[in-house]
Each structure stands twice: as structure tokens, then as C-alpha cells.
């Protein structure tokens, strides 16, 4: 169970709304870890130990683990189990399918992995993501307006007088609430937050794109912040790959601290 009130409490306590993204690529982790029985988990564990006082969430990009088969899934399971309970755990899996398939995806991430939340692709309709909202204390994080160039192909196309992402926001709010529904909004489109907030004035937003992708924290806060912040700012590569030496965890903590210290000025 991870409630909205708990998330707000952690943001207040840590003076941070940072989410650390674990996009763990075994070809990019420090070479000295390759002698470990599970190099990927050893890397994740060190990053979590170094950054957990500075962040309120971890986003595990499941593709980097699933690509490695059973071994990767084991590393992912151990990582989810290791994330401190005061931090929201996010399975960045972008799932969404019809009928029993979606039920099985929800079971995989919420029961087997025991993630607190999972990212969802809504473009097959509400029935494809509804099963994820049947788990008390769990969150569905729906793709709304992403930061990739291809978002213009569909998300930013107009249907009538509204963009497709606006229809997604309106329709998805019918199956979730501010207590269990967030939206993904890319940091590279900060001016669009005014449109997002028109449809989702009080929902938390998961915002990737700050750091290596060039998004501005100050712009995101300017356009997206609400009374209780309502933002989770994700940074991945700029933190976890700040160094590839034996001191990688120290450098990760240093980069996370820079973001946290700036976030503290907005609280």
C-alpha cells in the first residue's frame, strides 16, 4: 500500500520530489562490478544505498531487465524487494492490453513483483488499463504527453477541438482518481502543462526528461506545480551513470543531491 498522503509526507520530509530512474544497462555499468554474481543488482543496490535519502521514488525500466531473460527478471525482482518502503516503486513497463491479458500484467507487477505502480499505455482504451486500478494502494501511471519526437504522430494530433492526449486525460480520469492515477508528461514540453492541469488539476505527474534529455526543472515547476507539488521528476542517466569508476555511487549521490537541493527551494 502506498497512499497519496504517504507520498506527500515523504516529499515534505526529504524536501525532494526526485524519482531516480534505474535504466540499468550492463554494458554501461562500472567494469569492476562484472565479477559480481549479479552485476546488475550490485549496481542497483549501490545506487539505491547512495540516493535513497535524496529521492522519494525509483522507476525501474523493465525493458533493460526483461531483455536478459530469467536472469534479468531475477535481478529486477531483487531490485524491487530492495527499494526502501518509504520510496514509491515504479515499474516502467508501459503495459495495456485487453481482457485477461491486462489482468495478468497487473498480477505480474502488483502481486509477483510487488511494485507500487506501473506505467500504462492507454491507446487501446479504458478497458485495456482498467484492471490495474482494481488493486487498493497501487497506482496506474498513464502515458499522456511524452517527450519523444514521435509524440507528434499521435498524442499531439487533434480530434475535434482537442488534442488526443487531452481525450486520454479526460477518459482515464473516469476509471482512476487522484489517489491511484498519475500521468506521464515529458519535461521537454513544459508550456503544455497548463493544458494538462486543465484536465488533471490535482493528479501527480511523473515527469521524465530532466537531466540528460535536457528538460528544465525550473520550467516544469513553473508550469506544473500544485499546492502539494503534484510532481515526480525523474532523472536516470545523469545520476546513475555520473561515473563509471569505483566511486560511481558517490557521484550518483552528488548528482541527486544537486537536484534535491534545487527542489528544496520550491517546497
Residue 180's closest CA among 123, 241, 134? 134
Cross-strand pairs, 99: none
Write out the three cell numbers for 43. 549496481
The catalytic residue among 14, 59, 94, 138 is 94
Cα–Cα distance, 53 to 149 (Å, whole number): 34
Write out the three cell numbers for 137. 494502494
Write out the three cell numbers for 105. 500484467
How much is the CA Rg of the chain, to the nearest whole Å? 18
Is 158 an active-site residue?
no
> In the 3-class helix/strand/coil scheme, how is 21-41 assigned residue by residue?
EECCCCCCCCHHHHHCCCHHH
User: Is residue 116 within 8 Å of residue 88, measured between CB atoms?
Assistant: yes
Provide the annotated active-site residues: 94
Amino acid at each position: 500500500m502506498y497512499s497519496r498522503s504517504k507520498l506527500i509526507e515523504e516529499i515534505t520530509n526529504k524536501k525532494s520530489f526526485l524519482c531516480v530512474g534505474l535504466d540499468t544497462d550492463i554494458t554501461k555499468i562500472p567494469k569492476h562490478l562484472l565479477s559480481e554474481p549479479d552485476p546488475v543488482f550490485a549496481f542497483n543496490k549501490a545506487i539505491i544505498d547512495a540516493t535513497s535519502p535524496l529521492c522519494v521514488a525509483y522507476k525501474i525500466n523493465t525493458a533493460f531487465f526483461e531483455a536478459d531473460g530469467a536472469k534479468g527478471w531475477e535481478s529486477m525482482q531483487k531490485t524491487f524487494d530492495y527499494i526502501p518502503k518509504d520510496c514509491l516503486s515504479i515499474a516502467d513497463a508501459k503495459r495495456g492490453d485487453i481482457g485477461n491479458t491486462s489482468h495478468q500484467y497487473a498480477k505480474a507487477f502488483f502481486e509477483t513483483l510487488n511494485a507500487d505502480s506501473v506505467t500504462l499505455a492507454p491507446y487501446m482504451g479504458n478497458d485495456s488499463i482498467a484492471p490495474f486500478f482494481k488493486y487498493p494502494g497501487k497506482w496506474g501511471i498513464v502515458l499522456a504527453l511524452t517527450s519523444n519526437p514521435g509524440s507528434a504522430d499521435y498524442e499531439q494530433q487533434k480530434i475535434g477541438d482537442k488534442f488526443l492526449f487531452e481525450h486520454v486525460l479526460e477518459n482515464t480520469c473516469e476509471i482512476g482518481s487522484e489517489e491511484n492515477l498519475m500521468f506521464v508528461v515529458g519535461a521537454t514540453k513544459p508550456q503544455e502543462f497548463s493544458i494538462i492541469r486543465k484536465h488533471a488539476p490535482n493528479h501527480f505527474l511523473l515527469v521524465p526528461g530532466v537531466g540528460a534529455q535536457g528538460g528544465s526543472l525550473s520550467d516544469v515547476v513553473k508550469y506544473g506545480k500544485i499546492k502539494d507539488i503534484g510532481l515526480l521528476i525523474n532523472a536516470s542517466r545523469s545520476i546513475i551513470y555520473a561515473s563509471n569508476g569505483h566511486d560511481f555511487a558517490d557521484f550518483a549521490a552528488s548528482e541527486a543531491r544537486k537536484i534535491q537541493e534545487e527542489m528544496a527551494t520550491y517546497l
